[in-house]
Chain A
Amino acid sequence: EAGVTQSPTHLIKTRGQQATLRCSPISGHTSVYWYQQALGLGLQFLLWYDEGEERNRGNFPPRFSGRQFPNYSSELNVNALELEDSALYLCASSTGQPKRTDTQYFGPGTRLTVL
């Protein structure tokens, strides 16, 4: 069974540009989560999508947005890139029937570098 996949692996942009990151969840999973992992800051929750709807949002500005497609894959868009957006962006999926025993399954991440 294929795991969570993310593309691209690396992305280099300049300040002010837009970045688009993509994620495909494990087959049968309907929930997708996005996290930012900046150096020394651990995982910061960005967005949660389930069944095509945004279910929750972390403490990030509106220039961080995304969507989930009918096949449950997801895109994260970051507009007006700033230097401090440089980080590893992780996508995770789960079964979408929220319960406190849920395990999240993570992809390998997209390394975004803003110059």
Chain B
Amino acid sequence: GDSVTQMEGPVTLSEEAFLTINCTYTATGYPSLFWYVQYPGEGLQLLLKATKADDKGSNKGFEATYRKETTSFHLEKGSVQVSDSAVYFCALLKSGGSYIPTFGRGTSLIVHP
């Protein structure tokens, strides 16, 4: 079945450091890929998405590129802030199936001043 694998957390960084959170997936067909973010005490919200190979999603300084050849969708940010501390979820969704997203287990990011 479909699956999403994220790097284990927590990821701990100092403010202004470069961030990479790895995400790889296994799926048949052509899924769309998403990054959702969950700030403390809140539900998830969409951070960015990409719907086809080589697409780059971007938002709030975060970027991720849909790499079909490596089945990856790594999240990056050039300079993190304390306010970026949250849990980040990678997810995929494809047509012709259950239309239920498959989520990774989440990666906690902690940014220190």
Contacts and interface: CB of A to CB of B under 8 A. Distances in A.
8 nearest interchain CB pairs?
Answer: A106-B43, A42-B105, A98-B99, A100-B95, A106-B44, A43-B103, A100-B32, A108-B43
A100 B100 contact: no
Interface in A53-89: 55-56, 58
Interface residues of A, number: 26
Interface SS of A by simple majority: loop
A41 interface: yes
Contact of A41 (B34, B49, B105): B105
A103 B32 CA distance: 10
B94 A42 contact: no
A4 interface: yes
Interface string B93-113: 111001111011110000000
A6 B44 CA distance: 13
Contacts of A40: 105
B51 A100 contact: yes
A40 B46 CA distance: 21
Contact of A42 (B30, B98, B106): B106
Interface in B3-44: 30-32, 34, 36, 41-44
B79 interface: no
A56 B94 contact: no
A21 interface: no
